Structure 1
């Protein structure tokens, strides 16, 4: 057996395994260092002890020989007394120390050699111990085993090795002992109890556990050296199969025991026989039925609950493929008893069960008598009745049933199937026509599978209407009752039709309608009534008194001639109730025309017609007419005032600027001349913008009139080209006019037509690149004057084309000059005044072409001056 190594194993003085270290090399080095330190410490202590011994020996020797030396010295002649007694003692002491040191050195050298030999022997023993530990670790550290060690009852568990991941066992130590997470509940419970008994009662165990993944693990629990060991081994091959078989055997034993306990608890006799027909097991109900003291006594004495003839019949009839099942009669405790017996034959024997059905037999007889009594009662009923049994065959029918369907008595007495009966009635065209006969038939016969009574209406081809009441029997079958409701159904249908027509008519009226009874309670109302007064359906439900409706409508209207007057008229006791009409205006600005109409049976109808749109339209037209009149006055006043207030100052500025340019005023320096030119240019641009705005305001006000005249188009083009000369030279752009020699005349406003051409050419010059040419092409189409202006500028995108005629729409980033964006807008307005058309064709990078068509006036032009 081997487990996966989780750390080096050492033994303490008691020889117990210690797994706290984690590095074998580190532990070996630590032990070697510890042994060397112990050897060095022991050697140093021996040396010091021996040096001390030598010193003490030399001192003792000196002390012993000191008197002798003193005597020897006293006996010598004076001439020979070379040393004093003190010197002799010192010399003796030195000699003693030197002698002791030499002796100690020799002895120390010998001891050191002996210690080195002991150290080498201990290092060799330590190396052998480490090798044995490594072999033990390799032997334990197997991937298929894991060992858990507990030191005492309160000690923390230690873990060695791992189990394969495919077993589902956790790899971490903290989760391994949570057996319920990775073992099946039965195995986890059994293992926890076994480990508890091992640790507290020293009871060894061998358990086969099953994981949630279906793997089998063998767990062995032992006690050694005061420690508890639990070894988990992942089984494989034959051992795993054997363990699985053991588990399956235990499971089957438990299942059989549970099943036998269940059979032993039921009240029906149950038995099991061997292949020869002898009883091997019976339950308590069997033993009680055969009057035995216990099931074992019944088996031992072979007491049979069935007689011999019945047993022989069961033995002959029962087969493994077809069990015996029949009701048999036998005697139990001296009484005749009926049993519903089921006996199953197997190769190893047979087993059977008997259900006491004596009460059912008695009930069956009682039921037969009851059914016969009911049949006699039903025979005297006028309603057709038919009763079918559990096999859906006709069991009973009365004479009205036979007359209803006009069927032969012989056919009915043959007990036909219900489905067959329906098919025959359908063939005779006596049943309602159905789109799907199969589905209708299946739905009709579903009563046999239902516990509730089903009701249906059949509209027969002969014009009759039958109400079908089908009631299922608890013991199977059903009773069918047919009630002829033709007359009742026709009356009800006619009445319901009238109610639906009236309700649909009132609900779809746009007028609000409410009908009240003589007691002042509402009887009906339509959605339009609730919507006009802003109340809910609950507020106006049937039976609500008019006072409650008055309170619900109070937030919408408050007036003495309102709901109070309605209530007085509805609840009046006068014989002649006059009608009334009027108009109400609600807080929500709804204007309602109401009418109070008396109805028969003292009822009263209120109708409300929403006249808000027509009233508001009338008011709006009046207000709009007044606003238009005031706006027209404001526009005229604006045009008149702005014409003077803006043009007069600009004219003065331009006049004084031109005056400053004349030599008569005096010479100007270069900067002053430049400023005067800027003032003149800006004033001219501002005057042009003001004139454009005034022209647009005049057009919008509807007071601009065209001054029609006969125009020579050739002279018009020459005049336009002369006015554009300075602008063309300033922008370094040339103008090319392509026109016929004689374009003829046109009836139009010369000033406005010239403005159209100049605005279009100015716009082209603004966007044309320097050195390019602007093309002006003119021609006549019938009496219309058509011209196009093309430039080679940057062009415009589709988004710009969509807003090019809008006022104040500019593209200053690509043009040479930025303006107010009114040029093309004025062009469009003047062209429209001439009943002409203008369009622009442009693409980015391909320039822009403006096309314009001016038709000649048909009527004689009238010279009507524009408001300037």
Structure 2
């Protein structure tokens, strides 16, 4: 009811202000002004008419008859004027009455305004209660404030400070209230809140909308309502705390659970559900999945009390792996809760530490460097075998953990420590490492001739580690190294190659006389520490090109991690040719070496010139052969054609001598054409432009064709050809023309050397997919020297042969067989004939791919 009355109060106040004050007052003033203007107009009109009528009447009385006739007309007008004046008087009377009525209405309006003001006063008296305050927002105008809150709540009395909620409300309440008011004003969302002041007082805040205005009603609660509000705040705080703790427990990686008094699960976090392989914590609770074993749960149930929580390390299986948990379980009045911390890694680290310490002890025990470790009381804790061997001490004595001072005294009495002028001062200085944080390093020269570097490192927790490094061999090696350096220096000085070594800063470290002689510089110009820029300037008169010393300088002074090596040749103005090499050294230095290769370069240039001349001569020879061959082929073809034409009867009959000459011309022309074709084939092979025309060949048809072609040659030599071949040799993929040439030339060579009346044997067979054949003749055979050159071009052996050719047949055979990736060989013995064996593998038929 209070909220409804307060809402209606805003509307009543506005209506009272608008109706009782503004509208009646304005209407009254307007009507009065209008009435006065009407009365004034009527009076002014009557006065004017009177001024016109009176002079007219006077003139009518004093005028002549003629003039009276004219005035009678005017009399009518005067009558009309008098009527108008009468109407004006009537209107004035009506206006006066209307004025009286308006004054009566004004009195009523003033009475209503007085009543509205009294009503506003009553509302203000009602709102002025000290237990509530109202804030009213009307659009963007400043808010209006009504009422006050008690001083003990801590609410500021001033209007400007009241809306600064953060100053007198608790942060959580202030933030929530500001958001609620913002939503009320801009989104029209009502609210009911319980807020708490900085002094701990509780207020009820209600937000409402009415008549286009936003109202925030602040009420101080007392007695039971205040207690209920406090309980509500405390409940919300507890719920927030519980939700926060549950969110925290959900975020940690350790399983956490809560059980009731009977031991059943009530709540678990996500880590628990993951440990028991449940899809969610609710599933783990619903299915009562346990992360601990039954034995562990029984042990916890039997031992845990409210005063004595359970705390122990237990083992369980998680995701199929053995896991160690540090379990804490606390019992309360209504149940228990617990947490399991995964200490598997800790246990593993503990075991790893044990193994590491053991491994370190074993490692130190196998070191060749003596090591001894003393504790904070300067007693021996650890020693390795190298320590025992170095000082030759009794193992039983060392096992007694002697004091360090006692150990030094024992070693001194055994004459194993360096002799000192003041033993006491030296021992105190040596044992001062236990009071120092810095590592101490000393050299001990023992009486037996050994040199030890003693490194003593103090431990932050007390004690020290002593390491005895035997430098005897190192000193020996250093002495030999210095000797070796002197020997190498002498060796470099006597080298014929020029050598110069530069440091990473580009300054020369050493150079030999050969280097200075090659570049024509003095020893002072190449002295130790001279920068490479100065060396470049000194060498400029001998060689001044960008790819010379400037490139050396760039490589030597480069900051790149991987310095490249370089090699090349330089030719000096003096005519010397130097072979140089830039070699990076392991110690960030760079070595330049220069070798005088003038004589070698001159000889190389002479050989290159001769080789170039030979190459040109060979090219000239090939050009000549090809040109002559092509030029000879056309006339020979004409000669052979005309010779065949002369043999025909249509041309005319020839006598016996003419026919004989024509036969000689035909034979010689055919031989010459064969030689030209062979030369062209060889030239094509040499040029690398010959391509085989592969096709599928029937071997039996090929042999028939070859035997038919050899008929005339066999008859001429009175030799028979015996072919031993299967009737089904099959097919082979090869160049038919070149394969036929191979067979014809081998058979021609055999017929040429076969005795008259003998037979040339040809055997053919297949080995897998290869075509193999041999040709044997019973001729004179060949000697080993002849066999060595039988495949050479223009190699002829006229002994025992009927014809002497150009010596190109077997050379062409070898070239064509190689193009087929085959093999050819000759076996011959003087007096027993010759056998030629040839193997031709089948090729893959080329496939033509059609355009898609």
Same fold (TM over 0.5): no
| TM-score, reference length from structure 1 | 0.37
> Does 1 or 2 have the higher relative contact order (CA < 8 Å, sep 6+)?
1
| TM-score, reference length from structure 2 | 0.37
